[in-house]
Amino acid sequence: MKKGIFITFEGNDGSGKTTVSKLIYEKLKEAGYSVVYTREPGGIDIAEQIRDVILDPKNTRMDARCEALLYAASRRQHLVEKVLPALAEGSVVLCDRFVDSSLVYQGIARGIGVEEVYRINEFAIEGHMPNATIFLSVDLETGLQRIECRGEKDRLDNETALFHERVAQGYEWVKQEFADRMHIIDATKQLDAVVEETLQEVLNIIKEHD
Ligand code: TMP
């Protein structure tokens, strides 16, 4: 049986990642691909419940390592219940965020360290890394302005500008560390242009994988 392809989307808060990845899903579906769209934390019932706990703005006392473990726990359940079965059926799986987000947000921005965060994630993912990652790149200011325009903010959106600056620095590290699977898109452009460029990139990734 043909094996599927696992493509993740990463970027700072306010990069437009969710909007773009959902549009790419629609376009691939229209083009006749077997494609699954999902997101982290969440994507399936148990992981969405964990998401609610992590992102509840009331949970201001949450310890950084507890947060990292909850992300890894939701990732594990989502991987075994949704991602791996879809890949086994030969689908293209588009996932809004994956392990890179934990390395950046918990490992670097929270200051736990990428090695420690990778270790707990290794336990969770058992080597299932993405085939390719689309990185939607925006400057910090644009990202922060977009977050400001959101109606309801979650616990992570409410973090300080310094935290979001560390996230941006963290992504610079991740882009270098995993350069071979990173596909970087300038997400400061108009939405149509970003979607078009991303679609071409995703189609190339699928073609190379075949
Ligand atoms: P979202 O806004 O992309 O839905 O993600 C929710 C928040 O969770 C976002 O601020 C990034 C954060 N996050 C982490 O801190 N670590 C992780 O491993 C993941 C998947 C998300």
Report the alpha-carbon distance of residue 177 to residue 10 in Å, rounded.
Answer: 14
Encoded tokens for 189: 């452009």
Report the alpha-carbon distance of residue 24 to residue 77 in Å, rounded.
Answer: 25
Q: What is the pLDDT of residue 17?
A: 96
Please identify, by atom number, the ligand 1 atom nearest to the C-alpha of residue 72: 18
Q: What is the pLDDT of residue 188?
A: 95
Q: Is the CB of 37 inside a 6 Å radius of any atom of ligand 1?
A: no
Q: Is the CB of 166 inside a 6 Å radius of any atom of ligand 1?
A: no
Spans of the chain, pLDDT less than 50? none
Q: What is the pLDDT of residue 167?
A: 97
Q: Is the CB of 10 inside a 6 Å radius of any atom of ligand 1?
A: no
Residue-wise pLDDT for 46-84, tens only, equals 999 999 999 999 999 999 999 999 999 999 999 999 999
Q: What is the pLDDT of residue 176?
A: 97
Report the alpha-carbon distance of residue 38 to residue 139 in Å, rounded.
Answer: 25
What's the residue count for the chain? 210
Q: What is the pLDDT of residue 2?
A: 63
CA distances from 143 to 103, 107, 125, 195 (A): 19, 20, 29, 17
- Can you tell me which residue has the tokens 């991602």? 83
Please identify, by atom number, the ligand 1 atom nearest to the C-alpha of residue 156: 10
